[in-house]
Amino acid sequence: MSYTIIEVCNGCGACKRLCPANAISGTQKSLHVIDGSLCIECGACGRVCPKQAVKDSLGRICTAVKKSEWEKPVFDHKKCNSCVICIDACPTGCLAMSGAMGKDKHGKPYMKDDKACIGCGFCAAECPVDAITMAKPAAKAA
């Protein structure tokens, strides 16, 4: 079951702009709609909605989170077997493989485009060797 948008939606379009599956439609200042056949349940719409107008697949209201606090993948390259499943699982294409490093002829995954990451965690969920964990970015020093 996909995410849904409820009547408190103010039509700001933040969800529509962020959805990597183009599953959200609607015009400005009108209730937006999620096409369940396209929704990949990444949760980005719920994290970005300022009106808490998105319900997850279990019917729970999603809470908005500042984008700077969205969890990002952290790679344990000692565990990684360079299978690239994480890269294939990423709906935004924010991950890439490095070139060969030292004795490793296959390279390792890394965050190619930090701003494109929506913190869905699909990369970590799909990793067969648990080499990826999701964590909030460290706070920047003032």
Residue-wise pLDDT for 62-94, tens only, equals 999 999 999 999 999 999 999 999 999 999 999
CA distance 47 to 14: 10
Give percent above pLDDT 90 in the chain: 89
Residue 142 — very low, low, confident or very high, per pLDDT cuts 50/70/90?
low
Q: Average pLDDT for residues 38-61, to the nearest whole number?
A: 97
Kindly list the distances between the CA atom of residue 120 and the CA atoms of 49, 66, 101, 134, in Å, as whole numbers in the listed order.
15, 14, 28, 9
CA Rg value for the chain: 17
pLDDT at 140: 67
Say if residue 112's pLDDT is above 90. yes
Q: Average pLDDT for residues 109-132, to the nearest whole number?
A: 97
Average pLDDT, the chain: 94
Residue 141 — very low, low, confident or very high, per pLDDT cuts 50/70/90?
low
Q: What is the pLDDT of residues 4-41, one digit of tens each?
A: 999 999 999 999 999 999 999 999 999 999 999 999 99
